[in-house]
Structure 1
Amino acid sequence: MGVTRRFLDWQRPALASAAEWLREKYRPQAAASTQTLDLRGVIVVVPGGRAGRRLLELLVERAEAERLILFPPVIITEGGLPELLYTPQRPFASELTQGLAWAAALRKTPRAVLEKVVLHPPPSGDFSRWLELAELVRRLHTELAADGLHFGHVAQAQTGISGFHESSRWQALRQVQEEYLRTLDGLNQWDIQTARLVGIEKKEFQTDRDVVLLGTVDLNGALRQILNQVADRVTALIHAPLEWEDRFDQYGCLIPAVWKTALLAIRDEQIERVDGPADQADAVTRWMASLGGKYRSDEIVVGVPDKTLLGQLRRQLEQSGVKSRAFLGVSVGQTGPYRLLESASQFAQGRRFADLAALVRHPDLEDWLQPQLTASLTKQSSRDMNRQRRAEDILTTLDIFYNEQFAARVDPQRMEQIKNEWPAIHALVSVIDQWLCPIDHKKQRLFAWADGLRIVLKNIYGHRVLNPQNVDERILLKACEEIELQLEKLAQVPQELEPEISLKEALRLILEPLEGKFIPPPPEPEAVQLLGWLELALDDTPALAVTSVNEGFVPESHSSDAFLPNELRSQLGLLDSERRYARDAYALSVLLATRADLRLIVGHRDAENNPLIPSRLLFATDEPAACAQALRMFGKLEEVPPRKNLLSTGLQQRDTSNFHVPLPTKDFNPPTFLSVSQFKAYLACRYRYYLDHVLSLVSLSDQAAELDPAAFGSLLHDVLQHFGRTDEGERRSTRPDEIFAFLNDRLESLAAARYGKDAGRAALRFQVEQARIRLRTFAEWQARQTDEGWQIVHSEDSETQLECSFPTDDGPMKIRGRIDRIDRHQHSGIFRVLDYKTADTAKEPQQTHLQSDQWIDLQLPLYRYLVRTVEWQKGASIDGQVQLGYINLPRDQASMGCAIADWSREQLEDADKTAREVIHGITHGNFLPKTEPPPAFSEIYAAICQDNRIGKRRPLQDEEATP
């Protein structure tokens, strides 16, 4: 006796019809007096968990309506049925154990045999690549075994296909497969798929319960063979009209050849073609609005074959005031514990500074890290705290450290060297190292890695009390549970398969399986459900919109398979393009027959602007209709209403932005002194001066891969400062080699002190070499200057600043600054005040200080006042006229040299006048207007100043003050 087929009412949803069939079959009228609906002797097989849960709900509702006591059936998906029909004699190997067993089998296989499988087998010590190959072979084995095949069957099948010459490859794989099975046999474990095939061969499948197949229209070959052994207890419920019985086989599965030519009755008004993803989301909201409140939210479903549309859809629905619930939920790979393990292991393996910065920024680490740092820093003596910031400001300190040190790696020896100068950084690294101590090993066995990683996670999450009703805490809890399950699997691997592996390899075994696991969102009864394509056929809501009715999604595309191409799949009876087409053609037929309101939305472009092709299912109709459909689908896009600007509740569209540039505060304390550089900043932009020098805003980042121009210049300045202040003979030498030897020594020691031995990363080492080239050219120039009679009488002191009093109408203002260098000619007695300039291109003082005869920088003119405070020798000040200029150290060595300004007395007096105006503006709080367009090198304030904003913007002085 074969499987019994029953066709369900096509005009109703499948689950409702199935629930009614179960009630009628297992509680006939003759048993009406029992007041029970006893389905304990029934196994209902469904294609997905959601359909099973909904079927149970419908059975409960029917039982309640009839006041019956329900004994529910076993509801299970296709993959779980076989183990209900036979008793395995051995425990099944986990996927992890299977993968390791495949890796062991591959490594035992002679290399000459393996070279028939892959051209270049992995080296013996590369465990990661062996795992990759093992996973590839495991997936092939699983798919083939699910259809009752092994690798030897593929070798035999290929002989009948012209153009295929891969038999030797599959014969080699069969050798590996046999070794894999022997490996598991030696562990007294079974491969689940192979165990089923053995059970089929030995006819071990039996049951005393009825098996009901519901919506299982694409069963694999092994399951069909299992059903043959219990066929007298099996009923296939087929959701289709009886006149379609020739489209289904004896198991209620689709016959692809028949469905290939089946026609679909799609009405034109059910199809809408739009442009991009945003237009698809907009089409969904327009369709929902067109329903006119006919349905509750829980009676509406949106099908999302392309999961990349989920974010766009959810945002659009939320802005339209509609709650939604996505079918995927949150990937474990996106959760805090997963990413913490990922970040911690990356730092532990390579100790890269970038990995430390990423790890410290992990939000789950913050609550634990702050008290640890505070406790560590309280042990520092007060003399060590001169550069110390609070523990809660560690990210700022870390950025400052990076921008000064440009550390590529966090070297323990280097940390000891800087612990007095950077106590917070030293404390941070010490705390992190202590936390990661359980995984600070080169190689160890799997159970040891599992124990160490569990301790690492427990230190961060073990003290937290989580509320499963809170959405975020529920996700955290579920993520920890999934990771713990994976760690348990790691610890349970048989000792014979436990290799000594690195942390990277252990993390791969733990994290990769979790990437594809999702934490389902909590139930939201009033939300519109967003479901995947394969779930729609058994859904029973009356209103449905399906997005992305395009090739690649409906039907789903399958990427090219190097081992099992489509023609070979067809020959073997595996899932191929014909079966996918049949499955999706049937699903669309169900939707067309059972949905009161159906909208099929076809996209024209994807999110990356690539063209999309309409689904071939849309053309599965008679020839005239197919031609008309083609003209519509490939013609010009139809006009649709413009998308509305969806604003949150309470907001109204305005002609101007609600985001204002904040006005300077009126509560302002005038400065008691100004630095020379502040004058240039104020002249460039008063408002940006306010942000920089009044509010003291700074921009910090750890993204720089090399020294910026200012840091490069600072390195050269410091080397030259040492040269100018040395009492040794090099400062007065006329020999370039002697001067360069001194400069080179100082460059080496400064670079090592700041950036570590060998100057850290490659880009930094290259810049140090660039600095060395410039210093060699400078040494030659300096020797000539000394030979011409110029002597250095003053060099910048990094510890102190010069200070003078500058007269203004409002009273004197103190001006501070550092003069890089002052030279005196030993014969003429002329002084020249010089500033080192390290820009790539040499410039004259006239270019940098004046623009259209207006002063834009007052550095050199103000040095006339500062220089009077310098004693060029004990008791001797600098009076009278001095030369002002630059020493240019540009990229072009030919441009190296001194550039002296030739300003007239009148120009310098005008500079003094400009300086008094600047002082008056600053002390009186005149920080408007904001310069437009923004001055050069002001990008750090672009967001505050809205420099890149498109659209109308009022002048800053008209903005409303913001608190």
Structure 2
Amino acid sequence: MPTITPHSLDWNQPLLPAVTERLLSLTEGSLLDLSHLLVIVPTRQAGRRLREALAVAISDQKRALLPPDILTPDTLLSRALKHAPIANEASVTAAWVEVLSSIDPRHFETLFPVAPEPDVNWQFGMAQRIMQVHNELGEEGLGLYQAAQLAGESGQESERWQELARLEALYIDQLSLHGLLDPKQARREAAERFTAPPGIERILLIATPDAQALPLKALTNTVDTLPIEVWTYGNAELFDSWGRPHTEFWNQRALDFEGWNCQLKASPEPKVAATEVAAMTTNAKPESILIGLADSDLAPLLADELTRKNIPHYDPEGTPLHLGGIGRLTELLCQLSQEANIANVRTLLQHPDCFAYIQASDSQPHLLRKLDQCFERHLCADLDALIQFTDDARLRGALKALKSLQYSIKQAKHFSQGLSNALKDIYADVEIDTGESSKPWRERAEAVRQLLAEVATAEDTFPKLSTDLARSLVLQGLRKAKVHPDRPRQAHDLLGWLELLWNDAPQLVLMGLNEGKVPESVIGDAFLPETMRALFGLRTNEQRFARDAYLMEAICRRRAGERGQVDILVPQKAADGSPVKPSRLLFLGSADTLLPRTRTLFAQSDTNEPPTDYSIPWKLSPPPGLPLPERISVSALKNYLECPFRFFLRHIMHMRPIDLESREMSPAAFGTLLHAILAELKGLSIDSQTKPSDLIAKLHAIAENEIEHKFGRELSFALRLQKEAILARIQAYVERQIEDIRTNGSIQILHTESKFSAKLEGIELRGVIDRIDQRGDRIELTDYKTADSPKSPEKAHLAPLARKEPPAHLPEEAFFEHGNKRYRWIDLQLPLYVYSQLEAGKERPRVAYINLAKTLEKSEIAPWEDFTQSHVDSAIACAEALIRQIKAGVFWPPNPDLREDYDDFAPLFPDGIENSVKAEAFQNYQFTKTNDMAESL
């Protein structure tokens, strides 16, 4: 009578050669016929390696081989369901959503004690959570109904599980109405009626310490008809009859890392560990060293480091579909269909396939720059607003092309069809090469096609499926689906924890052995806490610990002594920078090993050394031969006084930050708009007879018109608040202006936004005076300020010298003595305004700020009371000295005292400007001598 027969493989020797040798020993002759064997291995990677090992072995023996049927436990049942009407994941999700949208939550009070909002987000999220529980139970051969029976017998949360069982019944009915089977229920039924494929005479379960209950149940049904052998890698008494490690034994077994030639090392952060892995892998052949990742989150970081060191590598797990190419484009189109905001529009235009589709005559950077400028001017909330406000015909054409894609998606009957139509439009004129170079694109395209076909099936099956839910299904599928690029030659595989058992390279470098990753733990599960997992027979944390303790010993033991080496690198931080602990496995040892291991694993890094092997790949240097500017503005001189290096970035290289996230005017834009409104006062006379209410009404009407012209009629909430702030500042200004008139006499506003120019050191100096008033026989020059707590003109222009040394870039002319005190110029605005308006024989104009604060108390007209001709002369001398330095190319050193939150360029230099820039290139920059390309500052 057939039985389950154990067989032990020597775990002091490599696993793969031992399995290969024993398999080949089961047959004789020139034709090795193993086709009567069904071999079950733990993973697809293990199956691939076994097939390769068998092929290599027979090629050396010059014999032919009929290979065995090699499967994983999962595919054992999947084969039996190949032609069954199994619901795909999209249809399963849609069925659960259909159930949740049709029920009255009040009839499920234990499951939903607080009545939820019955919207798509809740339905989709709850469907995902119940599906997770359903899947976990299903892997062990249980449904929610069976779980409810067990919970009822034990008296543990029986009411909640009964309600879940009721939902499951409704869900099964939903699928049945459409002729579909639940995947987990179908697998349970397949396991119950499982028979071995025709021609199979023996089943071998080889080195599979993590086999789940449902495949084992299927094998149990064959025990009476076929012999089953369970090959364990290690002594048979360490495992149960199915080759799973005994939980109690392995939870107490000591791990002899010291005796197995294992080197434990703590790394202060993952990047340090990645650098060490790359160093050990350099010039090493893949068959000599094995890279293991206990923490899969570290794979991108390690891959980046290996790429930087030009070390070929391959991740068998593949790449998520949404991270590149047509997969990323599909994700962006989903986002466009949901919300066509500036960020989504801009990202779409950055995608090369989409940019090719719009057939823009501009370059991509130029088109994006025009898009950003349009947004900055009008704060366009969406694609329609961008199309409305752009004054560039080519940008409008590009935006209309995106609008056409959006319409193509929305007008289709089903979301998946609309998305498919949009993709067809984009790639309609693209010639796809059938050679190897286009293979990655074709694989991604096929994966997208299959995903859209699954969602289309769900939409056809469940007509009530909403567009939002269909979109969520596509986005979820893009993140779950993986594509597998071709493996580079001589590449090092980045293997996960469960893949390491079947690789026999003599040296193992294991990275990321941290608690929570290995052993994997389930903590705080609302539906399946540890007590319920034990009740349902699911894999518990103790069983996971036993499995991982066994794997730890198995992969280390075979490399003990002269057979190899194991390097275990344990980061003290996770990939996101949060602190993590070493795995509990590393502390399984004798009493005399505990303290040394603890000291090693919690060792502090040397604070005198940098935490990472980090170097800046390049330093910023300016493009050569930029044109010397012919014109310079007054405000640009203020920037030079503040910092010459940042002046160069802003005014010579024309760099500036663009905020695409803001939905309100920046302080500068707010001030510019208020200036534009008040500019309409030109030609107005204001005297004691002027009615404040009339002037306020006039300016408010101008403000309403300006805001509508700039931003449209539909304002965001933030813009509505700013509009009210502008109206309040106008009212406060008018009341303060009338108060000044009554005290100091009437005025006539001669000019607003008055432009001027003057020659200094061969450069044209330009500026704009906000307002020029005539009061009696004297001219008054005023500048508007919109800060809530504005400075007086004196403090805004002159800073008293403190004990601290002033910025090193300032020329001697930047310092000014007045009233027995020494100052340095920080702004030259008002003195240069006066210089531009000086006329022989006429009195020097007065200067003042009009502070447009949001309240009457803070609004004021602030004259510069002690302003003299000495101020003008000193400011002119300073301006001339600054222009001479600019012409000489002096843009160094930078000002080190600027606050980071006030520095637009701080994000460009996280390690400091001095460490990121070639200083000598900015100390004596050489402008081109030609003026045909010159621009104004």
Bucket of the pairwise TM-score, normalised by the shorter protein: 0.7 to 0.9
- Tell me whether 1:773 sits opposite 2:728 in the alignment: yes
Q: Which residue identity does 2:368 align to in structure 1? A: L
Per-residue CA deviation, residues 472-499 of structure 1 (Å, 9 max, x unaligned), is: x554433222111011112233844232
Question: Distance in 1 between the 2:891 and 2:193 partners?
Answer: 90
- Tell me whether 1:617 sits opposite 2:585 in the alignment: yes
Aligned 8 A contact 1:619 1:629 in 2? no
- Give the superposition deviation at 1:661: 4.5
SS at match of 1:757: coil
Q: Which residue identity does 2:249 align to in structure 1? A: V
Question: Distance in 1 between the 2:623 and 2:98 partners?
Answer: 69
Per-residue CA deviation, residues 718-737 of structure 1 (Å, 9 max, x unaligned), is: 111112346xx888852111
Question: Distance in 1 between the 2:647 and 2:100 partners?
Answer: 68
Residue number among 128, 132, 140 corresponding to 1:135 in the alignment: 128
State the match for 1:711 in structure 2: 669
Aligned 8 A contact 1:551 1:616 in 2? yes
SS at match of 1:492: helix
Per-residue CA deviation, residues 239-273 of structure 1 (Å, 9 max, x unaligned), is: 334xx322333333333233333444432641313
Question: Distance in 2 between the 1:640 and 1:835 partners?
Answer: 53
State the match for 2:3 in structure 1: 2
SS at match of 2:331: helix
State the match for 2:747 in structure 1: 791
Matches within 5 A, 1:296-695: 296-318=285-307, 322-369=311-358, 371=359, 373-374=360-361, 393-411=366-384, 415-416=387-388, 418=389, 421-441=391-411, 448-465=414-431, 474-493=439-458, 495-502=460-467, 504-595=468-559, 596-601=563-568, 603=570, 605-607=572-574, 610-621=578-589, 623-625=590-592, 627-628=594-595, 632=599, 636=603, 659=619, 661-662=621-622, 665=625, 668-669=627-628, 671=630, 674-685=632-643, 688-695=646-653
- Give the superposition deviation at 1:74: 2.1
Would the alpha carbon gap of residues 635 and 544 (structure 1) be closer, same or farther in structure 2, given more than 3 Å must change?
A: closer
Aligned 8 A contact 2:196 2:222 in 1? yes
Question: Distance in 1 between the 2:53 and 2:602 partners?
Answer: 45
- Tell me whether 1:894 sits opposite 2:857 in the alignment: yes
Report the more deviating stretch, 326-335 or 629-638: 629-638
Q: Which residue identity does 2:48 align to in structure 1? A: R
- Tell me whether 1:212 sits opposite 2:175 in the alignment: no
Question: Distance in 1 between the 2:600 and 2:894 partners?
Answer: 52
Would the alpha carbon gap of residues 137 and 401 (structure 1) be closer, same or farther in structure 2, given more than 3 Å must change?
A: same
SS at match of 2:493: strand
Aligned 8 A contact 1:663 1:961 in 2? no
Question: Distance in 2 between the 1:265 and 1:235 partners?
Answer: 33
SS at match of 1:795: strand
- Give the superposition deviation at 1:52: 0.6
Q: Which residue identity does 1:22 align to in structure 2? A: L
Aligned 8 A contact 1:6 1:235 in 2? no
State the match for 2:67 in structure 1: 72
Aligned 8 A contact 2:145 2:165 in 1? yes
Q: Which residue identity does 2:457 align to in structure 1? A: Q
- Give the superposition deviation at 1:817: 3.4
Aligned 8 A contact 1:3 1:233 in 2? no
SS at match of 1:537: helix
Per-residue CA deviation, residues 816-852 of structure 1 (Å, 9 max, x unaligned), is: 4333222223xx4222222222233333333333345
Question: Distance in 2 between the 1:647 and 1:897 partners?
Answer: 53
- Give the superposition deviation at 1:943: 7.8
Question: Distance in 1 between the 2:588 and 2:646 partners?
Answer: 65
Aligned 8 A contact 1:688 1:941 in 2? yes
Question: Distance in 1 between the 2:918 and 2:219 partners?
Answer: 76
Aligned 8 A contact 1:335 1:475 in 2? no
Residue number among 658, 683, 698 corresponding to 1:742 in the alignment: 698
Would the alpha carbon gap of residues 950 and 59 (structure 1) be closer, same or farther in structure 2, given more than 3 Å must change?
A: same
- Tell me whether 1:259 sits opposite 2:227 in the alignment: no
Would the alpha carbon gap of residues 929 and 87 (structure 1) be closer, same or farther in structure 2, given more than 3 Å must change?
A: closer
Question: Distance in 2 between the 1:641 and 1:4 partners?
Answer: 60
Per-residue CA deviation, residues 415-446 of structure 1 (Å, 9 max, x unaligned), is: 44x35x454443333221112222125xx76x
- Give the superposition deviation at 1:22: 1.9
Identity of matched residues, %:
26
Per-residue CA deviation, residues 65-114 of structure 1 (Å, 9 max, x unaligned), is: 22222222222211111355x57884222222222233334455554443
- Tell me whether 1:837 sits opposite 2:817 in the alignment: no
Q: Scaled by the length of structure 1, what TM-score is found?
A: 0.83
Q: How many residues align?
A: 893
Q: Which residue identity does 1:659 align to in structure 2? A: K
State the match for 1:908 in structure 2: 872
- Tell me whether 1:53 sits opposite 2:41 in the alignment: no
Question: Distance in 1 between the 2:301 and 2:247 partners?
Answer: 35
Question: Distance in 1 between the 2:101 and 2:906 partners?
Answer: 58
Residue number among 177, 180, 196 corresponding to 1:189 in the alignment: 180
Structure 1 vs Structure 2 CA RMSD: 3.8
Q: Which residue identity does 1:613 align to in structure 2? A: K
Aligned 8 A contact 2:889 2:926 in 1? no
Question: Distance in 1 between the 2:71 and 2:639 partners?
Answer: 73
Aligned 8 A contact 1:365 1:460 in 2? yes
State the match for 2:14 in structure 1: 13
State the match for 1:821 in structure 2: 771
Structure 1 spans left out of the alignment, 5+ residues: 375-388, 870-876
State the match for 2:711 in structure 1: 755
Question: Distance in 1 between the 2:912 and 2:711 partners?
Answer: 36
Would the alpha carbon gap of residues 329 and 514 (structure 1) be closer, same or farther in structure 2, given more than 3 Å must change?
A: same
State the match for 2:844 in structure 1: 881
Would the alpha carbon gap of residues 962 and 50 (structure 1) be closer, same or farther in structure 2, given more than 3 Å must change?
A: farther
Aligned 8 A contact 1:5 1:237 in 2? yes
SS at match of 1:37: strand
Q: Which residue identity does 1:801 align to in structure 2? A: K
Aligned 8 A contact 1:44 1:213 in 2? yes
Would the alpha carbon gap of residues 594 and 620 (structure 1) be closer, same or farther in structure 2, given more than 3 Å must change?
A: same
Report the more deviating stretch, 486-495 or 950-959: 950-959
Residue number among 90, 93, 106 corresponding to 2:87 in the alignment: 93
- Give the superposition deviation at 1:576: 1.0
Aligned 8 A contact 1:889 1:896 in 2? yes
- Give the superposition deviation at 1:921: 5.4
Would the alpha carbon gap of residues 307 and 950 (structure 1) be closer, same or farther in structure 2, given more than 3 Å must change?
A: farther
Aligned 8 A contact 1:602 1:614 in 2? no
Question: Distance in 1 between the 2:250 and 2:750 partners?
Answer: 93
Question: Distance in 1 between the 2:191 and 2:881 partners?
Answer: 97
- Give the superposition deviation at 1:275: 3.2
SS at match of 2:252: coil
Q: Scaled by the length of structure 2, what TM-score is found?
A: 0.86
Q: Which residue identity does 1:299 align to in structure 2? A: S
Per-residue CA deviation, residues 536-589 of structure 1 (Å, 9 max, x unaligned), is: 112222221222333222211223222222122223221111221221122123
Matches within 5 A, 1:98-109: 98-109=92-103
Structure 2 spans left out of the alignment, 5+ residues: 801-815, 817-823, 928-937
Per-residue CA deviation, residues 641-698 of structure 1 (Å, 9 max, x unaligned), is: 96898699xxxx9xxx973643874x75562x55444544455555555554455554
State the match for 2:804 in structure 1: none
Aligned 8 A contact 2:16 2:504 in 1? yes
Question: Distance in 1 between the 2:608 and 2:312 partners?
Answer: 23
Q: Which residue identity does 2:130 align to in structure 1? A: V
Question: Distance in 1 between the 2:618 and 2:81 partners?
Answer: 69
Question: Distance in 1 between the 2:128 and 2:183 partners?
Answer: 16
